[in-house]
Amino acid sequence: MTETRPTWHKKLTIDIPAEMDLYEKLKTYQWNASTEIDWSRPIQNFSEESYAAVKGTYSREDYDRLRAQERAFTFTNLFVGEQAALALCAQLTNMVPEMETKFCLAGQIIDEARHIEVFGRYLEKLGADAPANEPLVELIHRLLDTDHYGEKIVGMQIFLEGIAVGLFQRFQEDSPDPLLRDLIKLVLRDESRHAAFGVIYLQDKFRDASVAERRQIEDFVAELWRLFNHATASPFGPVNPFLQETFKDIKHRLNLIGLELRS
Q: In order of start, what are the domains of the chain with their CATH numbers? A: 50-257 (1.10.620.20)
Query: What integer best gives the mean pLDDT of the chain?
Result: 88
pTM of the model: 0.90
User: DSSP assignment, residue 7?
Assistant: P
pLDDT for 1:
44
More confident residue, 164 or 227: 164
* pLDDT per residue as tens digits for the range 212-225: 888 888 888 888 77
Over residues 146-155, mean pLDDT: 88
More confident residue, 192 or 5: 192
Residues 84-133: tens digit of each pLDDT: 999 999 999 999 999 999 999 999 999 999 999 999 999 999 999 999 88
pLDDT in tens, 8-62: 999 998 999 999 999 999 999 999 999 999 999 999 999 999 999 999 999 999 9
Amino acid found at 4: T
Confidence of residue 235 (pLDDT cuts 50, 70, 90): very low
| All residues at 6 or more sequence positions from 195 whose CB lies less than 8 Å from its CB, including other chains | 157, 158, 161, 162, 165, 253
Residues 17, 151 contacting (CB under 8 angstroms): no
What sign has the CA pseudo-torsion 124, 125, 126, 127?
positive
DSSP helix, strand, coil percent of the chain (3-state; round to 5): 70, 0, 30
